[in-house]
Structure 1
Amino acid sequence: MAKKKENNVKVVTALCIILAVASLVTIKLVQLNTTTNQPAVNKTAKNQHEAFIEKVAPTAVQIQQQDHVPASISIAQAALESDWGTSKLASDYNNLYGVKGSADTKNIDLPTKEFVHGEWKTVQAPFRWYDSWNQSMWAHASLLVNGTSDNANRYASVLQSNDYRGAAKALVTGGYATDPQYAEKLIEIIETYHLDKYDKQ
């Protein structure tokens, strides 16, 4: 009886060891798979982002030379607002900056998220419909230069800022976006992709 009991203990112990080893192998495989796949996803996204930057940077530099809108801001805003050119508003209606429409412009009504009274809400709003990304970028520059109908100097501080950090914060002060983290998001994009190099061109 004692020997049988001893054998049972050995069997249980062996099973526990096998299960433990199997669990460790599974964990390692999952970790290996995650480690292997993650850089590939990041690399793909980075390549897409860099392709977007290359596409819009020449116009951003032209705008900077003519209207003094920092090229880094033009590019970063376009990337953030359009999800690197992949949003429906950007891909279907060429609106890179989430610019709202008015009674005398060509518009499309789409749902959008607004940060109101401390929380995000989805609302339906009219957005400008442009013929091209290039047209959208110049219209965005015009908005920053000329302001809005109620305040022509709304974004004057953006143009007067000494660097992209000041310009990003000035956009928020001017009321360009309701997102409380808007400036920080722009700055992160600029610094991640070194977009300030375009400000020197």
Structure 2
Amino acid sequence: MSRRKKKTLRLPAILIGFIMIGGAFVFSLRSLTNPNLSQNMYAYEENSEMTKEEFISRLLPHAKELQEGYGILPSIVIGQAILESNWGNSQLSKEYNNLFGIKAYGDQNKVTLDTQEFVNEQWITIKGDFRVYNSWEESMDDHTMLFVNGVDWSPEKYEKVLTAPNYEVAADALQEAGYATDPGYAAKIKEVIETYQLNQYD
């Protein structure tokens, strides 16, 4: 009688063991197929399922704050973010919160990634060091301060962007200052702003 009792008691324990192993296996598969289940040292922003309207709404409040503080037009901030980050879907913006392709120098927190540059009338791929931020807002702040402070060798480099009366003048000023090597950069910024009527927020 005692032997039978021991056998019947073992069966539930074996079943529980199988259930626990199966659960762990399913979770490990989900972790492999969905990297969002694992944590990264950086706070990832919204995922690629964000709609274009949601992306604009996500950036607008802070863009308005930057306008009040420094005069930068929200249409330029959001328009550049759209163009530079592909609506927040680029690796640089999703994983490192850099919405504007801002380069890193010296001992700044950075990541090295492939980037496209227009050199000698053709597009080439090079390695670039880019700033790493803790949030999209921090990236927007740094973007605006670049316009405010310029660069070491030219503090007034982006002054015309800040003082521009409208997005068209500001976009041309970006091109003139050499923000990007793309010869069609100003036209692309204007097109994004006009397509999504971003100038209504200026």
Structure 2 gap segments, 5+ residues each: 1-47
Matching of residue 144 in structure 1 with residue 113 in structure 2: no
Q: 1:78 is matched by which residue type in structure 2?
A: A
- TM-score normalized by the length of structure 1: 0.75
Q: How does 1:69-148 map to 2 (within 5 A)?
A: 69-148=72-151
Shift of 1:175: 0.8
Cα distance in 2 for partners of 1:74, 1:104 equals 26
Q: Which structure is higher in helix share?
A: 1
Matching of residue 173 in structure 1 with residue 189 in structure 2: no
Cα distance in 2 for partners of 1:84, 1:183 equals 18
Q: Deviations over 1:175-196 (max 9, x none)?
A: 1000011111110111111111
Matching of residue 158 in structure 1 with residue 158 in structure 2: no
Match of 1:59 in 2: 62
Q: 2:53 is matched by which residue type in structure 1?
A: E
Shift of 1:104: 2.7
- Structure 1 SS opposite 2:151: coil
Shift of 1:197: 1.1
Q: How does 1:182-201 map to 2 (within 5 A)?
A: 182-199=185-202
- Structure 1 SS opposite 2:168: helix
Q: 1:125 is matched by which residue type in structure 2?
A: G
Cα distance in 2 for partners of 1:160, 1:134 equals 22
Q: Deviations over 1:85-126 (max 9, x none)?
A: 000000000000000001131000000000001000000010
Structure 1 gap segments, 5+ residues each: 1-44
Task: Give the count of matched residue pairs.
Answer: 154
- Structure 2 SS opposite 1:143: helix
RMSD, aligned α-carbons = 1.2
Moved over 3 A (4+): none
